[in-house]
Amino acid sequence: MSAHTLEHTVAPAEAGATVLTLACALAGTTGEHIVAHGGAWLNGRRVSGTAQVTSGATLALHLPPDGAYPDLTLTPADLAYEDTWLVALHKRAGWYVGATPWDQYGNVLAALERYFLTRDGVTPPLHLAHQLDRDTSGVLLCSKAPAANAPLQAAFAGRRVAKRYLGLCAGAPPWATYDLQTGHGRAAGGRWRVYPLATVGQVLPAGGGRVRVAHTVFVVVAHLTDATLVTAVLHTGRTHQIRLHLAHLGHPLLGDARYGGPTHYGGHDLSGQFLHAAELHLAHPITGVPLVLTSPLPPHFQALLGGGWPA
């Protein structure tokens, strides 16, 4: 049990009660909020408040790590592109892309469903084309029609989608351009890490699969005081690839505490990594027309760059 999860084994006298009743008995109004946001799990499955508990079952109530549920409501300004088959968003830092154990509704996909339902009276069958970390901002692409799913997935898997990111990293890299290829995979403890390129293909411990190649090209854009703005072009799409590669080079992203980045800069407290998905280039999965999807630098980048850097 973590500090953000309350686990309870259902007693015989509690059998037959609803999840909502038991959650309120265990945690009062907090339990009610948890159930309302989809944070109640019974024997490892997410359940509604009307589900009945049985003796010996395990009820887990998950709270948000920061104790707050986001009110994520999209507006037309949040859409970067839309047609019959696709929709792209200007994802903001701090937005979860999908549901979390503690919240079914405060994420991009759920908010997009609510947006379409309000605007059109119907929700299209949304499907994520790719993923962005919670604190990574920028272009996030989804399909709106099943016909687009297979060609879109094939384009990403076949590396036919060009992805350009902007990042603010710590220090001053001694290079103007750096072409980095490494191995990538999980460590024994489950975290992602960089491996030597020569180990690509080797089996990882504890069922972690094999070491895979990760390839990023970095270019310095501008030097700041004790920080540098860089572009990163991904040639592979591994989990946390840019974050890991910059940390491997000794210049972790500002705010990326997980990989050694500073959490304070220029008088600002940094709550997450400064990484922005600036561009996606791909052929439209249905029409074949070239698409260039862009997202301008968000306010938290602008604040550290003095507000004057062009988007």
Q: Give the helix/strand (H/E) hosting 226.
A: none
* DSSP 8-state assignment for residue 77: G
Alpha carbons 239 and 128: distance in angstroms, whole number: 16
Active-site residue, 133 included = yes
Exposure letters 52-66 (e unless 16+ CB within 10 A, then b): ebeeebebbbbbbee
Alpha carbons 168 and 183: distance in angstroms, whole number: 23
- Residues 228 and 219 sit within 8 Å (Cβ to Cβ): no
Lookup: tokens for 143? 């399909």
3-state class of 127 per DSSP?
strand
Cα–Cα–Cα angle for 75, 80, 86, nearest 5°? 100
* Catalytic-role residue among 78, 103, 133, 256: 133
Of 148, 159, 175, which Cα lies nearest the Cα of 85?
A: 148
State the catalytic residues: 133
